[in-house]
Amino acid sequence: MIETLSARFQRALPGGVDFCSLRYSSERSESLVVRDDILQPVSLGEDAGVMLTVIHGGGLGYAATSDLSEEGIAEAIKRAQAWAERSAGRSVIDFEQIPPSHPQGSYQGPCAQAWDSTSLNDKIDLLQGLSKQLKISDKIVTWAAGLGVVWNDTFTLTNGGGRLEQSFTYIFPSLRAVANEGSETQKRTFGANAYCQQGGLEVLETLAFGESATQIATEALQLLDAPDCPTGAMDLLLGPDQMILQIHESIGHPIELDRILGDERNYAGTSFVTLDMFGTFQYGSELLNVSFDPTRPEQMASYGFDDEGAPATKEFVIEKGKLLRPLGGVTSQKRANIEGTANARACSWNRPPIDRMANLNVEPGESSFDDLVKGIERGVLMETNSSWSIDDSRNKFQFGCEIGRVIEDGAVKGVVKKPNYRGVSRDFWRNLKGVGDASTYKVMGTPNCGKGEPNQVIRVGHASPTCLFGDVEVFGGV
Amino acid sequence: MSVQTYFNELADHVTSLVSDEEVANLSFAAEDSDFVRFNQSKVRQAGSVQQRELGLDLIKGSKHCSGSLTLAGDSEQDRARVAKLVTDLRERRDLLPDDPHLLYATEPNSSELIKTGSLPSGGDAIGQIQEAGQDRDLVGIYAAGSIYSGFANTFGQRNWHQSENYNLDWSYYHGGDKATKSSYAGFEWDPAGLASKAERAASQLEALARPARKVERGDYRVYLTPAALREIMGMLSWGGFGLKSHKTKESPLIQMVEGDARLASSVTIRELTGEGIAPNFQEQGFLRPDAVTLIEGGAYKDCLISPRSAKEYGVETNGATAWESPESIDMAGGSLVEADVLKEIGTGIYVSNLWYLNWSDRSSCRTTGMTRFATFWVEGGEIVAPLNVMRFDETAYRVLGSNLVGLTAEREMILDAGSYGRRETSSARLPGALVNDFKFTL
């Protein structure tokens, strides 16, 4: 495909424009779900198209099309050029200030065991088996096991000889069990669908997918009979499958440079972080170390280059609690005159790149899980995100989890249902008082992060150890 | 060749590819859209998107397999790719077990709705929007163009829905997080209409310039504008009105469906496809009735039923999509006069917008969320000051039930500005709501 489209692009290139690029993206997918022991409709997807971008006279315009013919590409270039001319002198930045990028390189994500290395029937049998393990009681009223794959191939060509090729494989395992009695319904899932990674079917073994169903169903039943989560200010121990949400909403989004520059104020929101805070602001306690790391191969948003062509490197955005740099690609960096990260990303061929999170990880500390628990006189362990809400400046949040466990006098006690907590971002992270070691660390992801106008939903990675916070407002049901 | 003709030719081609024992359901979604994003009244990103997507479900007996494909929009180019999709689906399908919940339309029921509009050129749109942003901090998105939806099957059914429209969704910022949110959406672009909307939105900026007020946690009398109420309706629509969520006990309205919980008698909610802008057909070929009453007089009435749920639970479908969520939701108005709302609040809070709602306790239909944009402290029936953002935690049974004072007679038609994947066609027609003891928690 790349040679065909390259030839068409070269022939369609207009003379006299400052910059022109073609970004191709193809996503193929297959999804299998067994719900209540019945295989749901099987779907195959193929989504491919190109985004043409023209910079001319200081303006930038784009045109996306699913017509990959030479005429289609030439027509899209004309439309992009027209938008560049219309926006010249009217834009948030004179795009001539940004040196044109003509990068060359390639990146191949991991995949040890190909999707087709096992038959369709074998995969359906696996899901049927897990489905039966989920149905352990009449009180389990609906249950499901699923497995999905996405193959994404991209390349970018520029009028200056730039040529980047990248390809990725993603695996999405899922389990859920819903228990009901009267008007009380409780649900447990396989990490709220956050156990997703790059790779092939080997990921399933890494994540112990095949061994998780019975525990999920058992816990859903336990929740039916559990008391509500206690209410009050207390210690809060968060498992990795809730930490990833906490990182995402109250660190990741607030330090996105396009939010700080105001681009998202009409939709996703602004940020309590301002440009003058980088290098000085104490975001959290000294235990907090956060990295932007697109180099960990198995994680959801690992790549070689972002969609503006910047090479991806690991960078610390918070070190010993101090805020160091924002998440912002080349365009945002130029607008704000600050160093950022290689995170200008588009969700597909039909959307332009904007600042996204990629992989944003809390680095492991030195405490074992037992050490963290032993330090708690009164608190709650919460796992698996079920609810998330935060203000448009990313300050006042309220998050809920599927399951809680009371901790008293250094020991984990019984299960509690409807665990929720609320707080303010900076106060919360400054109350970080324990960070789990590598044995508590899990690599996960957020498959559906929404942002941007026009809207974009993109895959983001997060990894985290179990973490302990002090003096958190915790509460349960009505 | 028109997009409709292209789709019909593609459907004819697929019909020629399938055997007598096979059935094919085709769904089609396409758009030719312009998008211009603004920040600080300047262009952030400007461009256009042209996309054509075909969905195909290939059926034989009770076995089927579905696939989707983005296409060029040119019959010559696309026929070979569609033929390969048919081959791939046939091969995959034959490996699959029977689907006991498969249901699709077999009696042809064709329809066509084409709504043309009058849209500005890209250059004119940028110029007029920047004029509305002159000396102001305007941020938002202009989206305009044609949206196409189609359905076809091998029984000869053809459905087509085409709309040429625009949606400017924007905010004026006073500073920090203090802003007023507005939209200008429709089919016939009129510079005077935009200017009028802009002036109305800008008139709130003066009040936003006053020193902001903080209020303590507690219960307050509030007025929720239609835009704010839409966020609450969005939560109810998240599983509240679908048959499957009722049957699997996951409905947030489970206490209404299975218990004695009720909303106020003034609350009537309908899925009013006949007056919305969404297509009236779905991907198995069933047509939707003009109206489905979901809540009547505060009591649960009917729900949205996809063909799959209909087969699974042994009832009739009413043409809902697989998600079983309203796309053209309509709530009856009440007797409050909008012009009297500040007086009716007396002392309390005027909430223009809510934001980022989610469940605190789904079984109790209890949600949390934030105030956003122009939210004001009101005393003596007058706006006194903008309010800093507050978090609320409330159940629908209080907000639209025991604590509902009244609904406005006037209602607002809100066209969805969303564009995940492609531009949305859903809408909501809602009144405003005056509510007592609305609980703020942070």
Residues A17 and A94 in one domain: yes
Report the distance separating Cα B134 and Cα B137, nearest Å. 8
- Residue A358's nearest CA partner among A440, A454, A252, A264 is A252
Instruction: Identify the H or E element spanning B132.
Output: helix B122-132
pLDDT band at A67 (very low <50, low <70, confident <90, very high): very high
pLDDT of residue B79: 95
CA of A240 to nearest chain B CA: how many angstroms apart? 21
Instruction: Identify the H or E element spanning B172.
Output: strand B158-175
CB atoms within 10 A of CB B243: 23
* B4, amino acid identity: Q
Structure token digits, residue A355: 């600042």
CA of A269 to nearest chain B CA: how many angstroms apart? 9
Find out whether B383 and B352 touch, Cβ atoms under 8 Å.
no
Q: Residue holding tokens 């402290």?
A: B377
pLDDT of residue A477: 79
> What would the pLDDT profile of A166-207 be if each residue is shown by its tens digit?
999 999 999 999 999 988 999 999 999 899 999 999 999 999
Structure token digits, residue B118: 């009058």
A262: chain B residues, CB-CB within 8 Å: 39-40, 139, 173
Average per-residue pLDDT in chain A? 97
Nearby residues of B264 by Cβ (< 8 Å), 6 or more positions away? B298, B400, B401, B402, B404
Domain boundary among A225, A258, A281: A225
* B39, amino acid identity: N
Residues A349 and A466 in one domain: yes
Strand partners, A179: A140, A186
Residues B52 and B187 in one domain: yes
Residues B413 and B342 in one domain: yes
pLDDT band at B75 (very low <50, low <70, confident <90, very high): confident
Residues B272 and B303 in one domain: yes
Residues A135 and A250 in one domain: no
Residues B129 and B224 in one domain: no
CATH of the domain at B154: 3.30.2290.10
Segment B225-248 shows an average pLDDT of: 97
> What would the pLDDT profile of A219-254 be if each residue is shown by its tens digit?
999 999 999 999 999 999 999 999 999 999 999 999
pLDDT band at B76 (very low <50, low <70, confident <90, very high): confident
Report the distance separating Cα A392 and Cα A268, nearest Å. 7
DSSP state of B365: T
CB atoms within 10 A of CB A358: 26
Per DSSP, chain A holds a count of helices (H) and strands (E) of 10, 24
pLDDT of residue B74: 85
Structure token digits, residue B53: 């997507």
Domain boundary among A225, A241, A265: A225
pLDDT of A471 > 70? The answer is yes
Share of chain A above pLDDT 90, in %: 98
pLDDT of residue B441: 95
A65: chain B residues, CB-CB within 8 Å: 49-51
Find out whether B50 and A63 touch, Cβ atoms under 8 Å.
yes
- Residue A379's nearest CA partner among A261, A245, A232 is A232
Farthest-apart Cα atoms in chain B, separation: 74
pLDDT of residue B77: 84
CATH of the domain at A155: 3.30.2290.10
Which of A30, A249, A398, A453 has the most B C-beta neighbours within 10 Å, making it the best mutation to test the interface with B?
Answer: A453
Share of chain A above pLDDT 70, in %: 100
Domain boundary among B175, B203, B231: B203
- The boundaries of the domain holding residue B386 are 218-440
Chain centroid to Cα B318, Å, comes to 19
- Interchain proximity B50–A83, CB inside 8 Å: no
Residues 139-198 of B with CB under 8 A from A: 139-141, 143, 169-171, 173, 176-177, 179, 181
**Is B280 within the bounds of a domain?**
yes
Tally of structural domains, chain B = 2
A and B: number of Cβ contacts within 8 A: 251
DSSP notation for B393-422: EEEHHIIIIITEEEEEEEEEEEE----SSS
> What would the pLDDT profile of B28-58 be if each residue is shown by its tens digit?
999 999 999 999 999 999 999 999 999 999 9
pLDDT band at A478 (very low <50, low <70, confident <90, very high): low
**Nearest residue in B to A332, CA atom:** B44
Domain boundary among A178, A204, A225: A225
Tally of structural domains, chain A = 2
> What would the pLDDT profile of A346-399 be if each residue is shown by its tens digit?
999 999 999 999 999 999 999 999 999 999 999 999 999 999 999 999 999 999
CB atoms within 10 A of CB A71: 13
pLDDT of residue A34: 98
Residues B194 and B245 in one domain: no
- Interchain proximity A69–B139, CB inside 8 Å: no
Structure token digits, residue A39: 């295989």
Find out whether B338 and B409 touch, Cβ atoms under 8 Å.
yes
> What would the pLDDT profile of B136-160 be if each residue is shown by its tens digit?
999 999 999 999 999 999 999 999 9
- The boundaries of the domain holding residue A291 are 232-475
Report the distance separating Cα B173 and Cα B196, nearest Å. 18
- Interchain proximity A453–B140, CB inside 8 Å: yes
Structure token digits, residue B111: 């329809």
DSSP state of A313: -
pLDDT of residue A183: 85
CA distances from B189 to B166, B167, B184, B185, B215 (A): 7, 10, 9, 8, 41
> What would the pLDDT profile of A23-57 be if each residue is shown by its tens digit?
999 999 999 999 999 999 999 999 999 999 999 99
Nearby residues of B421 by Cβ (< 8 Å), 6 or more positions away? A457
- Residue A86's nearest CA partner among B127, B61, B258, B81 is B127
Q: Residue holding tokens 């990248």?
A: A166
Find out whether A311 and A281 touch, Cβ atoms under 8 Å.
no
Find out whether B64 and A10 touch, Cβ atoms under 8 Å.
no
- Residue B153's nearest CA partner among B49, B285, B252 is B285
> What would the pLDDT profile of B387-409 be if each residue is shown by its tens digit?
999 999 999 999 999 999 999 99
Share of chain B above pLDDT 70, in %: 100
- Interchain proximity A45–B67, CB inside 8 Å: yes
Q: Are strands B42-60 and A59-65 parallel, antiparallel or unpaired?
A: parallel
Residues B152 and B231 in one domain: no
CA of B343 to nearest chain A CA: how many angstroms apart? 29
A478: chain B residues, CB-CB within 8 Å: 361, 364, 366, 395
Report the distance separating Cα A72 and Cα A64, nearest Å. 10
